[in-house]
Structure 1
Amino acid sequence: MRQSSALSPEEKQMHKFEQRRDRFELFDRMDSPALNITFTLELPDFRPWCKAPGLPPFHVMLRSVLRSALAIENFRYRIFEGEVICIDRLIPSFTVTNQNHDLNFALFDWADDLCEFVARSQAARDEAATMLGMNQKYRQMTPREAKNQVFVTCIPWLDFTSIQHPTASLASPDIPSLAWGRFRDAPNGMLHLPFSVQAHHGFVDGYHIHLLGQQIATELAQVIG
């Protein structure tokens, strides 16, 4: 058998997963293998930076969150046709409300450039917000394409302390669900907000959620320079 250093990038990803397959099998046998943690996320206050280029903080935050989820391999594991896979791209999506204050879903194509990402995100928000019925774009994805998602919601009115995310199947919460709430000013130019992560415990432990929080702060620090 080849050494890990000689493996292709795809093989390295799955080689790393194999090291925790016994944990995956333990939690995957449970009625609900979901790990759900809500914590106070501390970030550099990027809101003043957003004012000059006129970029809405939510969409800048969304990009940083999704880039962070891609950067941490454990958040890229999924279950497809009974096998564990590792995705290498994301289809950005998030919840919005329409004029009736009913929930809808916004989806758009990824863009690496910050301004283009924000423009696409805003356009998707505006489109979904004008719909009275449910946005059906997600139904156009194949089952494999649907795995290239992270479910995102923002609840800016609430400083919540816990949240329970819905799952299509209680036994297979393999697509992570992320949520954040109301921003709060913190000392020394920092920002506090409630942040929730739900993920398959066979893939993600509390340590990886800690890494995700650190990575989001790093991404935003890089944005504001």
Structure 2
Amino acid sequence: MQNFEKRRDRYNAFASFENPLVNLSFELEVPDFRPHCKHHGLPPFHFFLYHVLHAVQGIENFRYRIYRGEVIEIADFWASYTVVNQDNNLNFARFVMTDDLREFIARSLASKQEAETTTQLINTAEDLSEYEQRRNIYITCMPWLKLTSVEHPIYEHKTYDIPSLAWGRFSDPRADGKLTMTMSVQAHHGFVDGYHVHLLAQAIATGIAKSGVSSANRTRAQP
């Protein structure tokens, strides 16, 4: 928590606001991972989700939470995201994070199937303890839309401390091997500034590139 103490005065300032949240929408540019996923039999959404969540986990400011009136730093969090169920209603998938990509995807697919086939609203965090509820990240994807901005429903702005990420439709393939989408990042401004959102965007792109996607795109571009 040494790094947090360097910005405690910023936290105290924003914590006094009725709405201390910052919400930034921006164009995220990453290596086009879709050919890589097709070649290796990986579902693109779950591949991307893996890199998004691990990028979030690697930035300390996104791990700060408010617990019983004190600021804490969580070590890890649940992997969770919104799903459309068989009735075309909202549901939630949730599973335990892992560093292994294929195991992460297997868990994600299993959780997605459960959320899709369940008519009741599940994984709402009501089954978790007060502390376990802090170990969360909210993720939503709207692949039908070219997202420009989003406003998330908030029960109480003043004490809201869990980051929310959203993105929309991926761009068409580009000649330079890049993929773009609009991403929205919402977080407590006492913890996160625009700089940290910039770090997150960089970390997502770097993680995807390190997975071998960049070399796959260069190979595709050769005559």
**TM-score calculated relative to the size of structure 1:** 0.91
Identify the residue that residue 211 of structure 1 maps to in structure 2: 199
Please state how far the C-alpha of 1:100 moved relative to its aligned partner: 1.5
**Distance in 1, Cα, partners of 2:130 & 2:107:** 23
Q: What's the counterpart of residue 10 of structure 1? A: none
SS in 1 for 2:160: coil
Aligned length: 212
Gaps of 5+ in 1: 1-13
Q: Identity over aligned residues, as a percent?
A: 51
Q: Distance in 2 between matches of 1:83 and 1:198?
A: 21
Tell me, what secondary structure is at the counterpart of 1:52?
helix
| Kept in 2: contact 1:107–1:137 (CA 8 A) | no
- What letter is aligned with 1:144? Y
Q: Does 1:162 align with 2:149?
A: yes
1:49 alignment partner in structure 2: 36
Which runs of 5 or more structure 2 residues have no equivalent in the other structure?
Answer: 214-223
TM-score under structure 2 length normalisation = 0.92
User: Equivalents in 2 of 1:167, 1:63: separation in Å?
Assistant: 25
Farther-moved stretch of structure 1 (187-196 vs 161-170): 161-170
Instruction: Give the C-alpha shift of residue 136 in structure 1.
Output: 4.3
The alignment yields a C-alpha RMSD, in angstroms, of 1.1
Corresponding residue for 1:200? 188
Give the 3-state SS of the residue equivalent to 2:208 in structure 1: helix
One of 94, 107, 132 as aligned partner of 1:120? 107
| SS, match of residue 195 in structure 2 | helix
User: Are the counterparts in 1 of residues 30 and 208 from structure 2 also a CA contact under 8 Å?
Assistant: yes
> Aligned AA for 1:167?
I
Q: Which residue of 2 aligns with 1:181?
A: 168
TM-superposed deviation, 1:96? 0.1
Whether the 8 Å CA contact 2:93–2:123 is kept in 1: the answer is no
Q: Report if the CA contact (8 A) 1:184-1:191 is conserved.
A: yes
Matches within 5 A, 1:138-157: 138-157=125-144
Counterpart residue number, 1:70: 57
